[in-house]
Chain A
Amino acid sequence: MTNTDRERHRERETAFYLFTQQRLPACKPVLTPAWVITIFLFTGFIFIPVGLVTLRASRSVVEIVERYDTECVPEPFRIDKVSYVQDDSIPKNCSLSLKVRKYMKAPIYIYYQLDNYYQNHRRYVKSRSDRQLLHGWKYHATSSCQPVEFNNNQPIVPCGLIAWSLFNDTFTFIRERAELKVNRKNIAWKSDRDHKFGKTVYPFNFQNGTLIGGGKLNPRIPLSDQEDLIVWMRTSALPSFRKLYGRIEEDLDADDVVVVHLMNNYNTYGFGGKKKLVLSTSSWLGGKNDFLGLACVFVGSSSVILAIVFMLLHLKSRRPYGDPSYLPWNRKSFSG
């Protein structure tokens, strides 16, 4: 072996040479029946338990849902709900009584749920000014807020359709004549409070127009503390959504009756939206929703079934693996 040969040999061993010759060491997995069956069984054994646990978690959540949009309109006004809700002279008081079926452990979350309400509508989503929310009326480029940008040639703070349509039904909860304490702090994301809504920005000229869209804001409280607004302005993804109203920090026992006094101010009658009040405990997974658990169980059991099917198929017809004699041009019996 001459020197150059040795050199060349050494060169051939380097990783770069192997790379240029497309011969990098590589793992080449091949799907054999054993692997396939193992994979399916593994998936099945992961997903069925996970699904069951999820399902249990979802079932453990106690949830009281009460639709009140129709009930809270007095009988005589039910023909024309819109004019009822728009008429300021009529008091909007309404009482609901909720029966607790199962023990509910604190914290109990209070949500209002709106259905058929497109908070993700393009015109709606765009109609806000994040800069104004942070910097107040000093920030002028708020054209995105149209059509709720100015009123009487004064800027509106907070501007835009989203803020304008702020949800303004209010709830008070009474159990056995004592008012339940509702914690309405920390219902919005901390990040939003700290970085998206200005601590020195106060509502201005808000809800002063001819058309009132929803709730009014206390002009003495800065936006960063207006948590209802902050919650409302984190627009929901889907046309059926809940928004956190507050937390009851007492346990509710089974067969407790909770009376809710509410102000039915918010107008969803114009477009047939539903309003619901939700009291819900939470699990490690969140709220009550069986879907994911069922889906996991379904995926898991399909995997197991597939594993069995493949096992049977494999027993029935077995193909010798990696046998070159199986290649068509090596098969003797082949005739066109």
Chain B
Amino acid sequence: MDSKTPVENLYSVEPALNSSSRRSNFSIPSKASGGNSIREVNFSDLGSKPVRYGSRGADSDTYSTSQKEINDEDARLVHINDPVKTNERFEFAGNSIQTGKYSILTFLPRNLFEQFHRVAYTYFLVIVVLNQLPQLAVFSREASFMPLTFVLLVTAVKDAYEDFRRHRSDRIENNTLASVLVNDQFQQKKWKNIQVGEIIKIQANETIPCDMVLLSTSDPTGVAYVQTINLDGESNLKTRYAKQETLLKIPEKEKVTGLIKCEKPNRNIYGFQANMEVDGKRLSLGPSNIILRGCELKITAWAVGVAVYAGRETKAMLNSSGAPSKRSRLETHMNFEIIFLSLFLIALCTVVSVCAAVWLRRHRDKLDYLPFYRRKHFSGGEEDNYNYYGWGLEIFFTFLMSVIVFQTMIPISLYISMELVRVGQAYFMIGDTQMYDESSQSRFQCRALNINEDLGQIKYVFSDKTGTLTENKMEFQCASIWGKDYSGGKAMSQDQEDGYFVQVDGKVLRPKMKVKTDPELLQFARSGKEMKECGHIHDFFLALAACNTIVPLILDTPDPTVKLIDYQGESPDEQALVYAAAAYGFMLIERTSGHIVIGIQGERQRFSVLGLHEFDSDRKRMSVILGFPDKSVKVFVKGADTSMFSVIDRSLKINVIHTTETHLYSYSSLGLRTLVVGMKELSTSEFEDWHSAYEAASAALMGRTTLLRKVANNIENNLYLLGASGIEDKLQQGVPEAIESLRTAGIKVWVLTGDKQETAISIGYSSKLLTSKMTPIIINSNSKESCRKSLEDAIIMCKKFTTISGTTNNTGRTSRAGLTPVALIIDGTSLVYILDSELEERLFQLSCNCSVVLCCRVAPLQKAGIVALVKNRTLDMTLAIGDGANDVSMIQMADVGVGISGQEGRQAVMASDFAMGQFRFLVPLLLVHGHWNYQRMGYMILYNFYRNAVFVLVSFWYVLFTCFTLTTAISEWSGVLYSVIYTSVPTIVVAVLDKDLSRRTLLKYPQLYGAGHKQECYNKKLFWITMIDAFWQSAVTFFIPLLAYWGSTIDASSIGDLWTLAVVILVNLHLAMDVIRWNWITHAAIWGSIIATFICVIIIDAIPSLIGYWAIFEIAKTRLFWLCLLAIIVAALIPRFVVKVLYQLYTPCDVQIAREAEKFQTQIESGAVEIEMNPILDPPRS
């Protein structure tokens, strides 16, 4: 049935095939129409290089640069099977890895060094060091060291634990065994001893120990399949090829020698270029010839390769860096306030030093004899100054001492609290069952830990379409073949099983997934090639089955006679097409580099693959040249409609072309993704021409890609149209509702897709992104001038629509009744002319007035360009959400990047700040968690400022009554414990647990999200109110005891204890006043802190060596003390309470009204038990 002859005849073609045509194996169309390969997303370069977003030629640039010869200086030379020689000149890294940062010896210095990279800690340290100078010793040594030591210790313990775990996993990995060729024999060797240049043999399912160039595999054609899940998280199999020249060498028997010249180690896991000299021949190597550390060998029984990069120089190790660190908007604002606080601190210190200066000047004659100053020694006969360095220096020292005393004005503890709070918030976000994706069993992931609160202020959402709004589970829906539409595939026909299997060696093969079939088409497909119509159908399905890069995997089932075929591939579209072909009886059974086996209506047929032109984003099509058993040669092409119709021979069957075009239009209006299939039979001379050109191009060392593309373009013309396919990409569950919620919340949703305009628009309607009320403005231009014109027209039109209702305001509330919303639809070609030119500004103006923007046919870098367009011009927060590699640039560009862990691998997730399973989780993420996080964090920052300011100001007031000499009445230990024990826990607990509104209310009224847009929880006004409040409260706290005890026997320690307790109770009650939900944890934290403070004060005062020994017991005996405490607390809190009440009663914010509604509505509907019904998550399916 399968004749070997054509394969043998054409055997000489294969080497070239194996090696070069597949070199861009990774650039299989991840989205058939998405139009771009993963390669052009260069992670490492994105931040550093200026990128021209508008340029379409970006990828071709990288292609051409990647073809440059490797300079000798930039190359590393690897002598195959000669590690000694390889390593003699250059010191290449060994294969042992060390991800642990520290060793036992280096831990202390290195860890401290890293910790002090934080400005806050350095400030802390400077203060401590200042305090050690004898002239400035305000606090005792122990007390001054304690806070810093505490913080450093906590962090160090955490780091040490993490490092210990890393060391443990390193040890396991380093001691894994691999078989390495030593003295012409494969011996087991630990991974850490592997050296560059050694030959290593990997068995099936083994992990690859280092980056190596394949020499040979168990497959006679040199194919090896690897799973890269550890590297990039993609679970599908990738094919790698050994070079033909090395394929037949058996390292044990004959000595393999050669020289590989490859580029220096870099972190691009999709790029590799090298030359290999074997037996005097020079071969070029690409990314498809290398297998990387961390991957697993699958299906292939064994593979032999030579190590080229080892240990830390492997691509996996070079890529193992953490998520990018971003700084939240709130934190940026906060830093401004911190600068202000620093100025305030300096002002306080200046006041103290000026006063001290005046005092010293005024008493300059008396200083020698003042009983409480005594400048001079009189003991030793000689009269020298004791601890006095002259007026100027004394003032300077006073200044520095006041910095030490008032240091907590800058809330260092805030940074630590914020980190803890974010961890807590992340814990709740991760654990939220409403963001748990049942289908993929995946939880929400918080990859970036420092931008939680930004989620509450998002103004723009940029969303990818495929895989984000849609499921990216492609389903073949309909086909138009030879001008006839077959779209009746609604029901599974009863006899569908027939075409569904192929028998091989008595075993039945079945595809894993079933596809709905059109009965009529099925009928035709079965009836063989006799009728002309059926011939086209035959060719059409053959094209679907053959023209792809899918790898069939045979899986066992419980029934030993039945095997399942699972089609593995990177493009879900191709999978869908292959499954469809199988359903119609054209089952792809086997694919190797040289041939494919297709079961046609149950009969195995073998075709030799003579050439394969990969998909690329310029051509937007791929083609395969098949040698048929009858020795005819045909080329099958499939691709996007625009690129296909330009290469189809229009002279043939013009009416077929027309009807196909109409069908295509109707398919895409239904929201289907379309592909056009064409073919051509090659005559012998054509084949010869192509073959020689192809071989020459494949062997070329320079500009290979360009040459191959030219060859492809030459063969892909004058095609014969077979038909078109329509693939449905279903909308994810809950997407329309989610988009509606987001829009109600005042978030602008922009969709950026690589799809065709019609598809995009129809998806837009079905996802409720576009509604019939909207006026669409479409911009499709082919030149800069027409772009300018259409933009100007659009702006005028937009103005007209938005002014019909009479009100345009720029405050952001555009979606008010009576306003006609405008939707802007723009395509990638126009964006080429707009981005990076002066037209950007106009596009921005226009898009600001539009409630929806839909960009179709955009390239990945353009996506980032659009995000940058908005991000650079407004202060609004942007969020990008996507699932594929082509969204990476956009995700990294936006303020918040969200990755969908979906079908297209984990590229997007790896680059994202947050990752989740479904688009609809964006709603609880933003509206619920974002809102909470923002509110909590905003409150916490303000509260921390207040808390420290009150304490510092109380000390400041006291200084004014001590001759400005920085004496503290409050015990220094209480000062240290204030932010560590007395007040820290409630802050963190409240900032993690408090909820201003319930989830239900937040989801019911998405408008409440506006609180974040309006910066309701943290703004300059609130900051000033808080500081004035702190000023008042500190004054009350200080002056009530001062006046009550003026001229009494009170001693410093006792009144200090009174102040300590008053401040602690006050700030805790202040917090209690603002807590919205009291659960038992909050109660425990707040009251517990007050009790803990009492206990601590008692303990401190029970230490006889301290000055305040027994003071608390003495003062607590008096009733005056308790009365003072009560008066302080009430008098201090009244103003705040009054202001709060006035605000709440007379100018309530939306949140406040909703909170009341929540409280009173639930009382009214008391029958309803609180089941957190989620109107968005569980929509009634219509």
Binding site for B on A (CB under 8 A): 20-31, 33, 36, 39, 43, 47, 50, 54, 111, 113, 115, 117-125, 127, 130-131, 134, 146-152, 161, 164-165, 189, 191-192, 195-196, 209-211, 213-214, 234-244, 267, 270-271, 284-287, 289, 291-292, 295-296, 299, 302-303, 306, 310, 313-314, 317, 319, 321-324, 326-329, 335-336
- Complex CA distance for A238 and B1110, rounded to whole angstroms: 19
Q: Is the CB of A43 within 8 A of B1047?
A: no
**Interfacial chain B residues near A21, Cβ < 8 Å:** 431-433
- Complex CA distance for A324 and B1156, rounded to whole angstroms: 9
Of B433, B1120, B1124, B1158, the residue contacting A322 (CB under 8 A) is B1158
Q: Is the CB of A148 within 8 A of B1146?
A: no
Binding site for A on B (CB under 8 A): 363, 366, 369-374, 376-380, 386-387, 427-428, 431-433, 807, 809, 813, 816, 932, 961-963, 965-967, 969, 993, 995, 999, 1005, 1007, 1040, 1042-1052, 1054-1056, 1076-1082, 1104-1105, 1107, 1109-1110, 1113-1114, 1118-1120, 1123-1124, 1126-1127, 1130-1131, 1134, 1137-1138, 1140-1141, 1144-1146, 1148, 1150, 1153-1161, 1172
| Nearest A residue to B363, CB-CB | A271
**Interfacial chain A residues near B932, Cβ < 8 Å:** 22
- Complex CA distance for A171 and B303, rounded to whole angstroms: 107
Q: Is the CB of A26 within 8 A of B372?
A: no
| Nearest B residue to A28, CB-CB | B1077
Q: Least Cβ distance of A112 to chain B in Å? A: 11
**Interfacial chain B residues near A196, Cβ < 8 Å:** 1104, 1109
Known: A28-B1159, A213-B371, A270-B369. A113 touches B1127 (CB 8 A): no
| Nearest B residue to A213, CB-CB | B371
Q: Is the CB of A210 within 8 A of B378?
A: yes
30 chain-A/chain-B pairs, Cβ below 8 angstroms? A22-B428, A25-B1079, A28-B1155, A113-B1047, A118-B962, A130-B1107, A148-B379, A149-B379, A152-B379, A165-B372, A191-B1113, A195-B1110, A235-B1052, A236-B1051, A238-B1046, A238-B1050, A270-B370, A289-B1043, A292-B1043, A295-B1040, A299-B1134, A306-B1134, A319-B1145, A322-B1159, A324-B1005, A324-B1157, A327-B1007, A328-B1007, A336-B813, A336-B816
- Complex CA distance for A149 and B1046, rounded to whole angstroms: 32
Count how many pairs of residues, one from A and one from B, have CB atoms less than 8 Å apart in the complex.
Answer: 260
**Interfacial chain B residues near A211, Cβ < 8 Å:** 369, 378
- Complex CA distance for A271 and B373, rounded to whole angstroms: 11
Q: Is the CB of A237 within 8 A of B963?
A: no
- Complex CA distance for A221 and B129, rounded to whole angstroms: 43
- Complex CA distance for A20 and B429, rounded to whole angstroms: 9
Of B372, B807, B1049, B1056, the residue contacting A124 (CB under 8 A) is B372
Q: Is the CB of A336 within 8 A of B962?
A: no
Q: Is the CB of A118 within 8 A of B963?
A: yes
Q: Least Cβ distance of B429 to chain A in Å? A: 10
Of A31, A164, A267, A314, the residue contacting B1144 (CB under 8 A) is A31
Q: Least Cβ distance of B1003 to chain A in Å? A: 14
**Interfacial chain B residues near A240, Cβ < 8 Å:** 1046-1047
Q: Which 10 A-B pairs have the closest CB atoms?
A: A322-B1156, A191-B1110, A122-B965, A322-B1160, A124-B372, A165-B371, A147-B386, A26-B1077, A26-B1079, A322-B1157
Q: Least Cβ distance of B716 to chain A in Å? A: 55
- Complex CA distance for A310 and B640, rounded to whole angstroms: 71
- Complex CA distance for A117 and B366, rounded to whole angstroms: 13
**Interfacial chain B residues near A31, Cβ < 8 Å:** 1140-1141, 1144-1145
- Complex CA distance for A195 and B1110, rounded to whole angstroms: 10
Which of B1055, B1104, B1150 is most buried by chain A, counting CB atoms within 10 A of its CB? B1104
Q: Is the CB of B379 within 8 A of A317?
A: no
**Interfacial chain A residues near B1043, Cβ < 8 Å:** 289, 291-292, 295
- Complex CA distance for A271 and B1131, rounded to whole angstroms: 37
Q: Is the CB of A237 within 8 A of B1109?
A: no
17 additional contacts, CB 8 Å, given A22-B932, A121-B965, A322-B1153? A23-B1172, A28-B1159, A30-B1156, A118-B963, A120-B967, A134-B1104, A147-B377, A151-B379, A161-B371, A234-B1051, A242-B1049, A243-B1049, A289-B1048, A292-B1120, A313-B1145, A319-B1146, A336-B809
Q: Is the CB of B373 within 8 A of A123?
A: yes
Of B366, B1049, B1076, the residue contacting A236 (CB under 8 A) is B1049
Of A113, A130, A147, the residue contacting B379 (CB under 8 A) is A147
Which of A23, A237, A310 is most buried by chain B, counting CB atoms within 10 A of its CB? A237
Q: Is the CB of B962 within 8 A of A54?
A: no
- Complex CA distance for A84 and B375, rounded to whole angstroms: 23
Q: Is the CB of A237 within 8 A of B1050?
A: yes
Q: Least Cβ distance of B1073 to chain A in Å? A: 10
| Nearest A residue to B401, CB-CB | A122
**Interfacial chain B residues near A152, Cβ < 8 Å:** 379
Of A151, A236, A295, A306, the residue contacting B1052 (CB under 8 A) is A236
| Nearest B residue to A109, CB-CB | B1049
Known: A237-B1054, A322-B1160. A122 touches B962 (CB 8 A): yes
- Complex CA distance for A31 and B387, rounded to whole angstroms: 57
- Complex CA distance for A2 and B1153, rounded to whole angstroms: 42
| Nearest A residue to B1159, CB-CB | A30
Which of A285, A289, A322 is most buried by chain B, counting CB atoms within 10 A of its CB? A322
- Complex CA distance for A30 and B1141, rounded to whole angstroms: 10
Q: Least Cβ distance of A227 to chain B in Å? A: 14
Q: Least Cβ distance of B1146 to chain A in Å? A: 7
Q: Is the CB of B1172 within 8 A of A22?
A: no
Q: Least Cβ distance of A49 to chain B in Å? A: 12
**Interfacial chain B residues near A244, Cβ < 8 Å:** 1049
Q: Least Cβ distance of A280 to chain B in Å? A: 10
| Nearest A residue to B434, CB-CB | A21
**Interfacial chain A residues near B961, Cβ < 8 Å:** 120, 238-239
Of B1045, B1077, B1081, the residue contacting A238 (CB under 8 A) is B1045
- Complex CA distance for A311 and B1130, rounded to whole angstroms: 20
- Complex CA distance for A118 and B1007, rounded to whole angstroms: 60
Q: Is the CB of A236 within 8 A of B372?
A: no
| Nearest B residue to A266, CB-CB | B371
Of B370, B374, B1114, B1138, the residue contacting A191 (CB under 8 A) is B1114
| Nearest B residue to A334, CB-CB | B816
